[in-house]
Amino acid sequence: MAMKTLNCLRRPALHLRSLIPPRQSPIKICIAQYSSHSPMGSPATNTRKKVTIQTIQNLYKKNEPITVLTASDFPSGHVADTAGMEIVLVGDSLAMVAMGMEDTNEVTMDEMLLHCRSVNRAVKSAFTIADLPMGSYETTPEKALESAIRMVKEGGMKGIKLEGGAEMAPTIRKISQAGIPVMAHIGLTPQRQHSLGGFRVQGKSAAGAVKLLRDALAVQKAGAFIVIIEAVPPEIAEIVTRRLSVPTIGIGSGNGCSGQVLVQVDMLGNFPEGRFLPKFVKTYADVWGEARRGIEAYREEVKSRAFPSVEYTYPVSKEVLEEFEKVVDEVAEKE
């Protein structure tokens, strides 16, 4: 929402010569205006109802796919919400895409909270969920609950996400029983990439598929209201989805899941040529290319003085200009 400001201007009467020194008391004029630096300009009309747990459950019952997209700041949260996402996820992937870190394990709780607050200011309808970062929930269920409460109270989130299967069931139960919705994350769990041997597809063997199903059933029983399944063969993910009574969100796991999630930076093509992109990512735009073309055009116009042309400047009357030119030397000498 744009911030309405009052700019109080002091306008001298009649002539600029009154500045040297002022002979009359200036007239104080207050003009109300919207700052061009307010978040996303003037406020937009929001006509969409707030998405709740019930909304998500109703979509699941109707077999209507649930749309999920990550966001890491005010602009990305704003566009995801206005584009109609049901869930906006402040994922720990922001460690790389927003903070330039090597992997998700580097981001801290305080850093996640900062980004959560930014997204929360933008999102008015979608259901917001945030990742608990590595180190904030693994030690004990009590520690995890403390972290989850911070995400809700300080970050403004409506729910949290955490990685892990059956071993995290007591933690999910603790947080859920405290009234905080939990999104579980099974399959490829990026925070545990080192123990998994890197970013590898999960559930490719019969034993791996059985483990995935057991993990899914365990987190559901513990109280998770929704489950992300990452990097699993689509046939396996679909079977697991059919065995659950809560929705699944796929990422690299086929369209047999109850919905899909992608990292916003990836799907918008907001990255330089040659950057690694997971196989499951489809790019729907070329934000990087458009941004670079625009910035390069701006640079060239500044260099050639084509910008700013007269339509991007503020006019002044000939009389005021002449009056000013008459006093320039006098003012400069007095300073």
In this prediction, residue 28 carries a pLDDT of 45
Q: Which two tokens stand for residue 293?
A: 């073309």
| Residue whose token pair is 């483990």 | 211
Catalytic residue among 64, 86, 111, 230: 230
Calpha distance 247→65 (Å, rounded): 9
Percent residues over pLDDT 70 in the chain: 84
Q: Are strands 159-163 and 182-187 parallel, antiparallel or unpaired?
A: parallel
Catalytic (active site) residue 230: yes
In DSSP terms, which residues pair with 6 in a beta bridge?
A: 32
Average pLDDT over residues 110-139: 97
Average pLDDT over residues 69-83: 97
The model's pTM is 0.85
Structure confidence at residue 41 (pLDDT): 53
Sign of CA dihedral 48, 260, 262, 290: negative
> What is the sign of the dihedral through the CA atoms of 206, 208, 214 and 220?
negative
- CA 269 and chain centroid, separation: 15
Return the pLDDT at 260: 98
Does domain 53-267 fall into CATH 3.20.20.60? yes
DSSP E strands in 137-281: the ranges are 159-163, 182-187, 226-230, 248-251, 259-262
Domain ranges of the chain: 4-42+311-334, 53-267
